Amino acid sequence: MAWVVAKRAAAASSSSAMKSVSAAAAIWMRSYAKVALGTDIVSAAPNVSLQKARTWDEGVSSKFSTTPLNHIFKDKKVVIFGLPGAYTGVCSNKHVPGYKENIDKFKAKGIDSVICVAVNDPYTMNAWAEKLQANNAIEFYGDFDGSFHKSLDLVTDLSSALLGT
Amino acid sequence: MAWVVAKRAAAASSSSAMKSVSAAAAIWMRSYAKVALGTDIVSAAPNVSLQKARTWDEGVSSKFSTTPLNHIFKDKKVVIFGLPGAYTGVCSNKHVPGYKENIDKFKAKGIDSVICVAVNDPYTMNAWAEKLQANNAIEFYGDFDGSFHKSLDLVTDLSSALLGT
């Protein structure tokens, strides 16, 4: 119950990078909602920012800064995957550990960053990453207001599972 | 940055109970938004339910059940307090520990339940409660869609702090 995959299709090396992402990501694809491989996420979600996972105190000291998507993807090969929410079942037990355990394979394929994003605030994302002991391997970002997911048409009503949209 | 206080003003013993709540709650009142002491919360938020904090697996096994407010308050003297969100600063460091450390004083005053609620899903609330080691003293509930806070006119836009409304 996750969407997965992405590489900004802009850099000269994007073709080979995308093949690498494709090979790596196919292993973990258990998606109900997904972004088509090759989608130019930065163009699809213009002016959207994510919120890097951090403690509340770090949030205060950073003046609650956000990270524009084009900074995240700039000159990088990135795998980004999304989950219904922090602390949800399969995501905690399988999806995130799957990426964490295979981080060396991603790096070997030239991936600079593996990113996990969910519709949560960055403080919850940070606590969840710490609990999963995954924050050294994977970068966690919050999409607290869902603007990133909305831009990519990834909004799903999960209120029946006591999660938001 | 919390709202605090509440006792359903219905039971025959409500007057003395409210005095007790008032005395106990005054210590911790650091509110920007609050519900007036004596507000009949069940009447003010009819047909609203909260989501008892639990793990995802417990959520699944409970079929994602929710708890109607009138069940929470039925024949009980309750102190309920709200916070901007799980894992936020003062709330984690002061507010919740304050209630936890004084739980015996609440009990001595005849309070049956001390409840913490925030606009988070119940899985995040559960993880936060565990981290604070407060889940034995305090009951944690999520208000994932904000319906409880909306009913009590407690909605505050905290997007500048990377939290939702």
Structure ipTM: 0.76
**In angstroms, rounded to a whole number, what is the distance separating the alpha carbons of residues B86 and A126?**
11
pLDDT in tens, B34-55: 677 777 888 888 889 999 999 9
Sign of the CA dihedral B123, B37, B16, B42? Answer: negative
Amino acid at B59: G
Give the closest of B55, B59, B163 to A162, CB-based.
Answer: B59
Enumerate the H helices of B4-146 as residue ranges.
14-26, 41-44, 56-61, 69-73, 89-90, 96-101, 103-108, 122-131
Residue type, A158: L
Chain A residue closest to B49 (CA)?
Answer: A162
Contact, A5 vs A29, CB < 8 A?
yes
| A116 close to A140: Cβ distance less than 8 angstroms | yes
Q: Closest partner residue to B56 among A88, A126, A142, by Cβ?
A: A88
CA distance A159 to chain B (A): 8
Residue with tokens 């007036």: B36
Give the SS3 label for residue B114: strand
Q: What is the pLDDT of residues A12-55, one digit of tens each?
A: 233 333 333 333 333 333 344 567 777 788 888 888 999 999 99
- CB–CB of B149/B119 below 8 Å? yes
What is the model's pTM?
A: 0.79
